[in-house]
Amino acid sequence: MSTTTETAPAEQPPAGRLTPELIRQIAALSRESKENLLILLQEELDGGPFIGDLPEQPPDEPGQVKAEWADEIARRVEDMRAGRVEVIDAQGSAARLLQRVLRKYSP
């Protein structure tokens, strides 16, 4: 008479939860991947799903990248000075995003 030992399947956390493994995977992402993840999360929180393309990669030429960033910063500063955009506190914005993520995904 042979006996077989059945092992119970590993218990899975409920879907939609931040698990230690998921947190480790996010921490291991490159900066670029983390930025893309933030874009996707923000779009989803704002009524998602994300529509469109992820930002294009900058050219490899450092001088060109530096010049393009200088132009972009100058354009954004001018938009703020002219009142064409709402000025948002970066720390406050990051704190609000974190709170939204925690409310949605924390147990």
Mean pLDDT calculated for residue range 10-18: 67
Query: pLDDT tens digits, residue range 29-69?
Result: 888 888 888 888 887 787 765 566 666 665 568 888 888 88
pTM recorded for the entire structure: 0.35
Mean pLDDT calculated for residue range 11-15: 62
Rounded to the nearest 10°, the torsion over CA 62, 53, 31, 29 is: -140
Mean pLDDT calculated for residue range 19-27: 89
pLDDT band at 2 (very low <50, low <70, confident <90, very high): very low
Residue 76 to residues 35, 64, 83, 86, Cα–Cα distance (Å) = 20, 18, 11, 11
